[in-house]
């Protein structure tokens, strides 16, 4: 019987001196209850006295505790190993696992080479750890050699080894090799299929991942989640919902991983009703609300425009992780509730939670969206003075945005000049946006050209510079920006708006007429515009046109047919006075739609919550929560 078999066999350690005597236990049995290195060393001394210091079975048990237990000591395990004249495969495998647990991947390979030099044959337990070690260390060459040894030593039919090889090649971003291993497998299990799906998804090959998913002979919740997550990570939220509905139709239970992925899809589309359904399901089914899932629920409510439920969920948590605190602070920030964000931060500190760099990004963002200049200056210093957190690029970006929005352009520029690192496009973009708001043409032109060179394929940068020129009446310069976009082949990102009503997500593009209720929507739009004109609405003009539409759209789709206006018209059709509906937009709301939305909320007695690329706007009674500070 081998050492590994000896270890796995039932202990034959009880003997009897007479029919009336109590059972006597072997010293090996005490190793099974060992809980500390002090206790282990006592056992080691006892085994040495019994002459078992060279016994692989006895020493293997000691080495296992030292190498694999949280209370162990790998150095002591290696000391024991060095005293053995002929360590067996079990001992080598145990030490390889010990190295792997400590992320010492290179040492796994070195020990394997020694194993071969000592003429100890590897077994099926050897290779999975070695393959994972190569994967962790992205050791491509060594990984290929270990793959060859899997064949050499006859483990080509071992599913566990082969699944680990697929994962290794996926981690190497070598899908061709991963696919070769997969295609040659004599038997594939759910792990094989799911690993390949995840591999395609990680490289953005979502359609290829879906092909593999469709070929699967059987699926479990892990494989469903892998495919749903692939769609969510690629912002293909509609397809994620379609697949989720298929999963529900097959009566598969929703676990916390699928729930988290679908909550992210709800966040992406602003699908509050479906997000609420998933939250209720989680609660009713008793699904574990770990910190990640709890934060995902809070984030969903915040980004779907329901701050009250986000805060209610947050308050109801028995344990609040740092990510939950950060998410709630960030939620208040994006809704323009800076004072509430600061209040939450103070509660966090009172409870002894140590803030991190993300906490202060959210606090500074809250100050920026609410115009809290003094508070922003205070916390920018406070993070370093009290918590020793040095400002990162994102913190500088928030401060430049805060100062710039407040019209303190010279102070914002001075802060950029004093940065210990070269400002990135986010920091410069914040100053550029502030120049547009406050009409500083000279500085805006200077910064705008730098931003465009840093991000030559971002259409929004060109549009902002064009708007700046329009504001200054420099139409020839605006035309030059247009020509530059055409020469460089830069296309504007098409604007779209999404509204969820009665559990159904509806998407609108500027001037689009594909919706089945298009005729009724446009009739409502005309009524909507007539009624707000009656109380003084006048379109904001050229800036909104340049900002929202490309040249082709301008000819056919004037300001009246922007995507959010169509979504609002649909919302008015489907709701009654006093109701609230929510819209998500992929671009920044234009000035004209912002002005019109305030008036619509008053005339039609609705609360309209709009999430744009930067923040939330709550339109009610003719006012916006941003107080026009956006």
CA dist., res. 93 & res. 98, Å (int)? 9
Per-residue tokens: 521: 């929507």
User: Shortest CA distance to 585 belongs to which of 270, 305, 331, 330?
Assistant: 270
For the chain, give every domain's residue range: 391-493, 496-538+559-624
- pLDDT of 556 over the 60 cut: no
CB of 27 within 8 A of CB of 46? yes
Q: What is the pLDDT of residue 558?
A: 66
Q: How far is CA 250 from the centre of its chain?
A: 28
Looking at the chain, how many residues does it have? 630
Q: Is 465 exposed, middle or buried (0-12, 13-18, 19+ CB in 10 A)?
A: buried
- Please determine, for residue 279, whether its predicted confidence score (pLDDT) is greater than 70: yes
What does the pLDDT average to over 71-94?
94
Distance CA 435, CA 452 (A): 15
The dihedral through the CA atoms of 497, 501, 503, 508 has a sign that is negative
Tens digit of pLDDT for each residue in 563-598?
999 999 999 999 999 999 999 998 888 888 999 999
pLDDT of residue 602 exceeding 60: yes
Report yes or no: 71 and 37 within 8 Å, Cβ to Cβ: yes
> Residue 624 pairs with which residues in a beta bridge?
619
Q: How confident is the model at residue 626 (pLDDT cuts 50, 70, 90)?
A: confident
* C-alpha distances out from residue 333 to 128, 267, 317, 324, 585, Å: 46, 17, 21, 14, 18
Taking the C-alpha atoms of residue 276 and residue 349, their distance in angstroms, rounded to an integer, is 30
Q: Using one digit for the tens of pLDDT, what is the confidence trace for 329-350?
A: 999 999 999 999 999 999 999 9
Residue 495: per-residue pLDDT: 84
Q: Which residues contact 217 (CB under 8 A, 6 or more apart)?
A: none
Q: Round to whole Å and give the CA distance between 367 and 426.
A: 17
Distance CA 574, CA 521 (A): 10
Residues β-bridged to residue 611: 584, 616
All residues at 6 or more sequence positions from 238 whose CB lies less than 8 Å from its CB, including other chains: 269, 505, 507
Q: Is the pLDDT of residue 253 over 90?
A: no
Q: Which pLDDT belongs to residue 589?
A: 87
Predicted local confidence at residue 125, as pLDDT: 94
**Mean of the pLDDT values across residues 396-401?**
96
**601-615 average pLDDT score:** 93
Residue from 291, 413, 309 nearest 353 by CA: 291
Between residues 200 and 589, which one has the greater pLDDT?
Answer: 200
Comparing C-alpha atoms, which of 481, 622, 496 is closest to residue 557?
496
Integer Cα distance of 310 and 299 in angstroms = 7
Cα–Cα distance, 101 to 66 (Å, whole number): 12
The mean of the pLDDT values for the chain is 89
Q: Which CATH superfamily is domain 391-493 in?
A: Tetratricopeptide repeat domain (1.25.40.10)
pLDDT above 90 (res 613): no
With 70 as the cut, is the pLDDT of residue 600 above it? yes
Q: Which helix (H) or strand (E) holds 508?
A: strand 504-509
- List pLDDT tens digits, range 299-314: 999 999 999 999 999 9
Query: 171 and 162 in contact (C-beta within 8 Å)?
Result: no
Tell me how far the alpha carbon of residue 363 is from its chain's centroid: 20
Q: How confident is the model at residue 557 (pLDDT cuts 50, 70, 90)?
A: very low
At residue 3, the pLDDT reads 36
13-48 pLDDT, tens digit each? 333 333 444 444 466 666 777 788 888 898 898 888
- Mean pLDDT value of segment 61-79: 92
**Strand-strand pairing, 607-611 and 616-620:** antiparallel
**According to the model, what pLDDT value does residue 26 have?**
60
Percent of the chain past pLDDT 70, that is, above it, reads 92
Cα gap 144→534, rounded to integer Å: 74
Contacts of 607 (CB under 8 A, 6+ apart): 579, 580, 581, 601, 618, 619, 620
Sign for the pseudo-dihedral over CA of 559, 565, 569, 572: negative
Q: Which pairing describes strands 623-624 and 616-620: parallel, antiparallel, or unpaired?
A: antiparallel
Mean pLDDT along residues 425-437: 93
Q: Are 489 and 456 in contact (CB under 8 A)?
A: no
The pLDDT value recorded for residue 343 is 97
Which residue is associated with the tokens 């107080």? 627
Q: How confident is the model at residue 55 (pLDDT cuts 50, 70, 90)?
A: confident
256: tokens are 């916390």
| Other Cβ atoms within 10 Å of 190 Cβ, number | 16
Residue 276 to residues 293, 356, 500, 581, Cα–Cα distance (Å): 14, 30, 12, 15
120, 92 in Cβ contact below 8 A? Answer: yes
Q: Which residues pair with 508 in a beta bridge?
A: 497
Task: Report the SS3 class of residue 88.
Answer: coil
Kindly give, in sequence order, each residue whose CB lies less than 8 Å from that of residue 38, ignoring residues fewer than 6 positions away. none
pLDDT score of 27: 62
Q: What is the pLDDT averaged over residues 601-627?
A: 92
Please name the residues in contact with 454: beta carbons below 8 A apart, sequence gap of 6 or more. Answer: 424, 425, 428
User: How sure is the predictor about 6, in pLDDT bands with cuts at 50, 70 and 90?
Assistant: very low
Beta 580-585 vs 607-611: how paired, if at all? parallel
């Amino acid at each position: 019987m081998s050492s590994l078999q000896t270890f796995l066999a039932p202990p034959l350690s009880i003997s009897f001196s007479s029919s009336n005597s109590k059972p006597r236990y072997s010293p090996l049995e005490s190793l099974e209850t060992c809980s500390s290195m002090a206790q282990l060393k006592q056992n080691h001394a006892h085994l040495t006295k019994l002459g078992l210091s060279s016994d692989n079975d006895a020493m293997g048990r000691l080495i296992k505790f030292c190498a694999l237990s949280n209370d162990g000591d790998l150095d002591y395990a290696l000391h024991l190993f060095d005293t053995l004249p002929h360590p067996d495969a079990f001992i080598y495998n145990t030490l390889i696992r010990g190295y792997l647990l400590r992320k010492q991947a290179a040492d796994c390979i070195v020990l394997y080479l020694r194993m071969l030099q000592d003429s100890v044959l590897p077994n099926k337990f050897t290779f999975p750890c070695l393959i994972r070690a190569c994967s962790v260390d992205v050791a491509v060459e060594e990984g290929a050699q270990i793959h060859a040894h899997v064949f050499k030593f006859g483990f080509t039919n071992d599913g566990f080894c082969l699944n680990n090889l697929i994962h290794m090649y996926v981690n190497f971003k070598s899908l061709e090799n991963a696919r070769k291993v997969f295609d040659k497998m004599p038997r594939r299990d759910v792990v094989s299929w799911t690993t390949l799906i995840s591999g395609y998804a990680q490289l953005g090959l979502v359609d290829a991942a879906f092909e593999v998913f469709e070929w699967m002979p059987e699926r479990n919740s892990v494989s469903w989640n892998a495919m749903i997550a692939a769609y969510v990570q690629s912002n293909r939220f509609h397809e994620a919902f379609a697949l989720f509905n298929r999963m529900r139709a097959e009566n598969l239970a929703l676990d916390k991983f699928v729930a988290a992925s679908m909550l992210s899809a709800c966040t992406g589309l602003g699908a509050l009703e479906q997000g609420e359904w998933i939250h209720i399901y989680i609660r009713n089914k008793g699904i574990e609300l770990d910190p990640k899932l709890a934060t995902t629920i809070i984030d969903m409510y915040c980004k779907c425009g329901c701050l009250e439920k986000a805060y209610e969920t947050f308050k109801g948590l028995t344990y609040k992780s740092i990510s939950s605190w950060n998410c709630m602070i960030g939620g208040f920030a994006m809704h323009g509730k800076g004072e509430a964000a600061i209040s939450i931060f103070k509660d966090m500190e009172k409870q002894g939670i140590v803030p991190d760099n993300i906490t202060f990004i959210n606090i500074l963002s809250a100050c920026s969206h609410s115009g809290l200049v003094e508070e922003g200056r205070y916390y920018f210093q406070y993070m370093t003075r009290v918590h020793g957190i040095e400002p990162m690029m994102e913190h500088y970006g928030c401060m430049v945005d805060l100062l710039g929005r407040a019209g303190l352009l010279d102070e914002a520029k001075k802060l950029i000049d004093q940065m210990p690192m070269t400002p990135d496009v986010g920091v410069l973009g914040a100053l550029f946006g502030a120049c547009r708001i406050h009409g500083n043409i000279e500085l805006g032109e200077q910064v705008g050209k730098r931003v465009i060179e840093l991000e030559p394929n971002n259409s929004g940068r060109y549009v902002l510079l064009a708007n700046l020129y329009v504001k200054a009446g420099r139409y020839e310069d605006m035309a030059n920006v247009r020509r530059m976009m055409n020469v460089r082949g830069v296309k504007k990102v098409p604007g779209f708006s999404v509204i969820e009503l009665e559990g159904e997500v509806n998407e609108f593009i500027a001037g689009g007429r594909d919706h089945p209720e298009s005729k009724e929507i446009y009739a409502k739009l005309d009524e909507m515009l007539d009624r707000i004109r009656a109380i003084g609405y006048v379109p904001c003009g050229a800036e909104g046109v340049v900002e929202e539409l490309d040249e082709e759209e301008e000819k056919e789709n004037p300001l009246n047919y922007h995507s959010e206006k169509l979504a609002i018209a649909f919302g008015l059709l489907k709701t009654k006075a006093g109701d609230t509906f929510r819209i998500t937009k992929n671009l920044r709301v234009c000035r004209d739609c912002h002005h019109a939305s305030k008036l619509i909320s008053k005339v039609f007695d609705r609360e309209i919550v709009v999430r744009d690329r930067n923040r939330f706007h709550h339109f009610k009674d003719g006012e916006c929560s941003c107080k026009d500070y956006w």
